[in-house]
Chains A and B, each alone.
Chain A
Amino acid sequence: MKTRPYPAWISRLFILLVAALTCTGFMQMPLAKRYALTTLPGMAWTGDFFLVHRIHYVLGTVLLFLVALVAVNWLKSWRNWLALTGLGLARAVVVGGLVVSGLLRVYRNLPGVTLDPTWILTIEWTHLILVMVLGVLALVALARRASAYAVRK
């Protein structure tokens, strides 16, 4: 595999978070019971909409922290000696869109917040479509053996 010039734990944590967020995100749809996922040993929790929603929030919170931490370090020093790959840039933009639409989604759910239904629809479908785009880009990156977001200049 291609080497990358930043700590492996970032990649691993990022991949783990995105995978878990995708899973808990798709479980927001009523799929777990219909497709018997809940009957698999240890997977009964996937049928509890509120629990899955809370897990999604917690994972999202960790991702937000990580993304902010990496972004600040990028601006502070990494950009001097690292360059985003094309696929890295595309995925960074998509992750940015997911973060923003996800935060708007959280905001929409706050008590006392009522947004226009058109806005809600836009936020909802942007979030859903972007995660699918991220999945496609990840597959392309894997197929091309170029999964690193950034390389040394």
Chain B
Amino acid sequence: MSEKKHRTGAISRRGFLKALGVGSAGALVPAAPALAAQERVPAPSDGELATLLDLSKCIGCGACVEACRESNAAKFPEPVKPFPAMLPSRRAKPEDWSDLRDVDDRLTPYNWLFLQNAEVEYRGESYDINIPRRCMHCQNPPCANMCPFGAANKQVNGLTRISPNLCFGGAKCRTVCPWHIPQRQSGVGPYRHVLPRLAGNGVMYKCDRCYQLLDKGELPACIAACPEDVQTIGPRHEIVARAQALAKEMDGFIYGLEENGGTNTLYVSPVPFELINQAIDKDSGPGANRRAGKKSGQGKRKRSPLGPGKPHMGPVKDVMADEANLATAAFIAPVAGIAAGVLGLGSKLLNKGEGDHED
């Protein structure tokens, strides 16, 4: 199938467009504030905001990647070296991206958005799909729900943020994220001052949907900079309706509506995401083991020593669904306990053998 692929532009479309100056649209984005002023984002009181990415429009120019870096540069880590010697050193290894700040073909603490490419054949036609990848901003995010320190949180406007002042960099958020999105930088954050050898390993970083711009009602940088209007942002119910209409119009497919119980990032594509997932360069999620195993000719998964940074696009069940079901039991339990006590069951149980009991 790969031989039949339509290859024009696949190799250097990004470079070609950059050479033409289209790719540097991000640099021209002194126009962006003006655009943002015209097209303001609804206030958080309108509910959760979601983004829609029309993959049929993305030309892979990289303007969003550049704009993301510029907009968030002040948030990037400046680690103190040498890193604290951690215990046990064999298991707690530092992750250092500070000398690899230019890497833009995966997610890193210095690159919160990157482009994936999928060349797929569908219904006899070849498609060259470019996919801007960043945090999915789940509706019920496991990274936030399961962070033991409250460092990761979902905001009422639907975005998930990690506070660098609270994060110890244990990377649990990356483990429980179905796409393993957050990335770690060692040598920065509160662990250096609390228990540098024994607890923590840095701070986790990921897309925060340019909250500093959203708070002012402005568009996130990646949306404002896009020369092709790939992305749209708005109240989730409107974005969902728009995504469904767009999918119907192009006879296409939606990713993010059901995945992990629903996300605030919706992708619409003219080709099935199953095919995209098979074609993209990924190192996490369903099929990653099998794929890496086949490729390397080994049974063992081949992983980057700096953690996964290329998310998959496979199906994702709602990873917090069981917890939600158990929550019902937790809320019923005290009521049941009270009822049992009032009805006398408690008396029978608790007063049985009443008297002095050995500890």
Contact = CB atoms under 8 A, between A and B. Distances in A.
Interface of A: 1-8, 10-11, 28-30, 33-36, 49-50, 53-54, 57-58, 60-62, 64-73, 76-78, 99, 103, 106-112, 114, 116-117, 120-121, 123-125, 128, 147-148
Given A11-B359, A68-B337, A68-B338, A36 B88 contact: yes
A67 B171 CA distance: 35
A120 B141 CA distance: 14
Contacts of B334: 64-65, 67-68, 99, 103
Contacts of A30: 170-172, 175
A65 B319 CA distance: 26
Contacts of B349: 7, 69
Given A60-B330, A106-B330, A120-B153, 14 more contacts: A3-B358, A4-B356, A29-B199, A50-B322, A53-B146, A57-B326, A61-B333, A65-B333, A69-B340, A70-B350, A73-B350, A108-B145, A111-B261, A120-B150
A66 B337 contact: yes
B293 interface: no
Contacts of A50: 176, 319, 322-323
A107 B140 CA distance: 12
B350 A10 contact: yes
10 contacts: A5-B357, A54-B322, A57-B326, A58-B326, A61-B329, A68-B333, A72-B337, A72-B342, A120-B150, A124-B148
B355 interface: yes
Given A73-B347, A117-B155, A3 B341 contact: no
Contacts of B170: 29-30
Looking at chain A's contact residues, the main secondary structure is helix
Contacts of A110: 140, 324, 327
Contacts of B354: 5-7
A4 B153 contact: no
A76 to B, nearest CB: 7
Contact of A125 (B150, B327, B355): B150
B154 interface: yes
Contacts of B355: 5
A66 B346 CA distance: 9
Nearest to A27: B148
B359 A29 contact: no
Contacts of A106: 327, 330-331
Interface string B197-228: 00100000000000000000000000000000
Contacts of A71: 337-338, 341
A11 B358 CA distance: 10
Given A64-B337, A68-B341, A121-B150, A76 B347 contact: yes
A4 to B, nearest CB: 6
A138 B153 CA distance: 33
A124 B149 contact: yes
A6 B358 CA distance: 9
B336 interface: yes
B335 interface: yes
Interface string B63-96: 0000000000000000000000000100110000
B166 interface: yes
B352 interface: yes
Contacts of A58: 326, 329
B331 A1 contact: no
A72 B346 contact: yes
Contacts of B357: 3-8, 11
A66 B322 CA distance: 23
Contacts of B31: none
B150 A62 contact: no
B28 interface: no
A111 B350 contact: no
A29 B140 contact: no
Contacts of B261: 111
Task: Name the 10 nearest CB pairs between A and B, nearest first.
Answer: A68-B337, A72-B341, A124-B150, A30-B170, A64-B333, A1-B359, A3-B356, A57-B326, A8-B357, A68-B334
Contacts of A62: 333
Contacts of A54: 322-323, 326
A148 B333 CA distance: 25
